[in-house]
Amino acid sequence: MIRKEIVERIEGEARVDYEIEEDKIAFAQISFPHFRGMERILEGAPAHDALMITPRICGICGHAHLMAAVRAIESAYAAAGSPIFITPKAHALREITLYLELVQNHIKWFYLTVIPALQPLCTETLPKTSGAFAPVALSNRILALFAGQAPHSAYAIPGGVTCDPSELEQNQALGMLEELEKLLVSDLLGTNIAAYMEIQNLEALTALSGDFSYIINEMEKNGLQGIGQSHDRFLVLGEHTLVSPAKITHTTLRMVDNDKVSEDDTNTFAKGGFTYGKNALYKGMFFETGPMARAMARLDPLIKNIHRRHKDALITRIAARVHETVLLITEIRRLLRSLDLEQESFRAPMPISRLSAEGVGIVEAPRGPLIHRVKLKSGIIERYDIITPTQWNLAHGTRENPGPAQRALMGANPHHSDIIFRSFDVCSVCTTH
């Protein structure tokens, strides 16, 4: 039996055709029906226009696109023998605002995506989705102190950042961050950050009183803790203060080589297929990316403890993402305090009109690695190529070699399809850029 579904309430729209055999999902064909052609409008544009256009690929993770774009152009400068050294202050500001975008993303996902999808499977009434509103608006407000606005800032530019904050913005940010932390402590965590950071196993986590542990407990009570296991292979490609690139298979960490990343378009309409989504692969294999991958790469004690019991199941995926929110807040505070405002915000690089080179920019976006590749001729974009996180997680393989989300769905109870699918936080608008 084939059950066709159009998945709404994600970023954009996806279509899943579930093949159901003996009350189990035997296979799931995932397709993305829309196309926008963002790479095409970049061709022929001056390089800096990528800083404005690429964030508009995605309303929820546009800042990650901005960071990937600026890294790509700066990497082209390095390739041309004219490397750009941004100040530690500019680097810290870029990390702070990127992390704030991750925070609002994670909170939206937990309250607006995960909770409504879990509700039909749980006996108790789950926390209200409106729990997202205040922390989301506050994260974006802190982001805007430096980046001018959220969504769709364009404040990172080859050579640094456009803003030059004073102690005022630094203090405002620290004050608002304290407010944000208070909200998370009272609603999400149910304990203060210092106590939370001591937690290293699932028992201690489930003993808390916030929305996070409530959801974990509800999953256990309703027999959902083991569902949604995938390949148990993870990939991190972006270099950040909180995580470094790594490939993890069978809990073994290995270095990665970005040249081993490839795209496969054999399922796309252009090749007579059924989707606009291309697959992203590393050494020809599918990997899961995002907060769980980053937790494994960081050797995070709490997530490794949950992983030891449930592997890469839904429960680990959810816990990793909420847990990362707390780590991000702590790291944002450290970076804010470390800002040396005496440093320059921007150092003018060689005029871009003299730049003819190729560059690659990789950042860890909320859902995993985001890759921008650019080819410039005299400062004009000749080619722009983007690989988004959803191309990793929602890659479309075969029954024998399924993509990560497909693998997690195969063998599952059909009633669990929605929450498993959504646990990968599908971003259709990114995929079909």
Partner 1 sequence: MNIIWLQGVTCNGNTHSFLNHPHLATLLDHFTLIHHPVLPCAHTLRAVMEKDLPCDILIIEGAIQDNLNRADHDVLGRIIHYAAKANHIIAAGTCASFGGIHRQIDPEHIGGLVFQGDESSGPLMAYRDKIINLPGCPIHPEWLANVLLSLRENRTPKTDALLRPLSLYAYLVHNGCLRNEYFEWKVDAKHFGTKEGCLYYEQGCQAPYTHGSCNKILWNGVSSKTRAGTPCLGCTEPTFPKRNLFETLTHMSIPATMPEGIPKRTYLTVSGVAKSFHIKRLESPLIPKKSDA
Q: Contact positions toward partner 1, by CB under 8 A?
A: 6, 8-9, 11-13, 33-34, 36-38, 40-41, 45-46, 48-49, 51-53, 56-60, 62, 90, 108, 112, 116, 129-130, 132-133, 136-137, 140-141, 143-155, 157, 159-164, 166, 172, 342, 344-346, 348, 429
List the structure tokens of 12.
């954009």
Least Å from the CB of residue 175 to partner 1: 12
* b/e code 338-355 from CB counts within 10 Å (16+ = b): ebeeebebbeebeebeeb
Which residues lie across from 362 on neighbouring strands?
371
Which of residues 165 and 228 has its CB atom nearest to partner 1 in the complex? 165
DSSP 240: -
Least Å from the CB of residue 176 to partner 1: 9
Mapped onto helix, strand or coil, the DSSP state of residue 355 is coil
**Torsion angle, alpha carbons of 348, 349, 353, 354, to 10:** 150
Which of residues 217 and 343 has its CB atom nearest to partner 1 in the complex? 343
Which of residues 27 and 133 has its CB atom nearest to partner 1 in the complex? 133
Which of residues 129 and 413 has its CB atom nearest to partner 1 in the complex? 129
Least Å from the CB of residue 197 to partner 1: 28
Which of residues 13 and 19 has its CB atom nearest to partner 1 in the complex? 13
CA 150, 154, 159, 165 dihedral sign is negative
CB 279 within 8 A of CB 397: yes
Least Å from the CB of residue 391 to partner 1: 17
Least Å from the CB of residue 134 to partner 1: 8
Which of residues 342 and 400 has its CB atom nearest to partner 1 in the complex? 342
Which of residues 79 and 380 has its CB atom nearest to partner 1 in the complex? 380
Least Å from the CB of residue 383 to partner 1: 16
Which of residues 170 and 201 has its CB atom nearest to partner 1 in the complex? 170
Least Å from the CB of residue 26 to partner 1: 24
Contacts of 84 (CB under 8 A, 6+ apart): 74, 77, 78, 158, 159, 347, 349
Which of residues 9 and 271 has its CB atom nearest to partner 1 in the complex? 9
Q: What are phi and psi of 409, to 5 degrees?
A: -85, -30
**DSSP E strands, 158-202:** 160-161
Least Å from the CB of residue 88 to partner 1: 14
List the structure tokens of 119.
């509700």
**Torsion angle, alpha carbons of 282, 251, 242, 426, to 10:** 50
Which of residues 49 and 264 has its CB atom nearest to partner 1 in the complex? 49
Distances (CA, A) of 271 to 13, 17, 256, 275, 399: 21, 20, 30, 10, 20
Angle subtended at Cα 82 by Cα 97 and Cα 44, rounded to the nearest 5 degrees? 70
Q: What are phi and psi of 58, to 5 degrees?
A: -145, 125
Least Å from the CB of residue 238 to partner 1: 21
**Residue entry with tokens 């693998």:** 407
**Torsion angle, alpha carbons of 334, 338, 341, 342, to 10:** -170
The interaxial angle of helices 167-183 and 314-338, nearest 10 deg, is 150
Least Å from the CB of residue 85 to partner 1: 14
Pairwise CA distance, residues 362 & 257, whole Å? 12
